[in-house]
Amino acid sequence: MGCLFRLSGLFFLAVLIGLPIAIAMKAVQDKPTLKRPESINLQDLKNAQQLAKRFDPRLMSSDKVTEIRATTRELNTVLKGAMASVPNVVTTVKVARFGILIGMSVELPDNPLGRYLNIRTVIASSSRGLQFYRLYVGGVEIPQQLIEPVLRYALDEIVGQGKADLILKSVRSVKVLGPTIYVRFQPPANLLKDIKTAARNQMPVSSPDVVKLYYGLIEKLAAQHSSERRVSLTEFMRPLFKLAEKRSASGDPINENRAAILALVLYFGDDRFERFIGDVRTAQQKSKRRRISHIRLNGRHDFVKHFAISAGLTLTGGEKTANTIGVLKEVKDAANKRSGFSFTDIGADRIGVRFAKKATENRKKALEFQQVLATASSERRFFPTFTDLPQGMTTAQFQSRYRNVKSKKYKDEMAKIDRRIDAIGMYR
Parallel, antiparallel, or unpaired: how do β-strands 89-96 and 99-107 relate? antiparallel
DSSP summary character for residue 297: B
Task: Report helix, strand or coil for 2.
Answer: helix
Give the angle 394-55-199 at the CA atoms, nearest 5°: 95
Domain boundary assignment for the chain: 29-202, 208-427
**Contact present, 92 and 35 (Cβ < 8 Å):** no
Q: What's this model's pTM, rounded to 2 decimal places?
A: 0.68
Distances (CA, A) of 287 to 3, 281, 290, 402: 80, 10, 9, 44
What is the pLDDT at residue 317? 75
Chain centroid, CA 31 distance in Å:
25
Give the C-alpha distances (Å, rounded to integers) separating 99 from 55, 91, 173, 291.
Answer: 21, 17, 12, 55
Give me the pLDDT at residue 17, please. Answer: 42
Rounded CA gap, 414 and 405, in Å? 10
Amino acid 212: pLDDT: 96
Q: How far apart are CA 404 and CA 258, in angstroms?
A: 35
CA 231, chain centre distance (Å): 32
What are the 10-residue block averages of pLDDT along the chain, 428 residues in total? Answer: 46 43 61 75 66 73 84 81 67 86 80 75 88 83 79 68 77 89 83 61 73 96 94 97 96 96 95 86 91 95 95 84 76 71 94 96 96 95 95 89 88 95 93
Q: What is the pLDDT of residue 415?
A: 95
Residue 4, SS3 per DSSP: helix
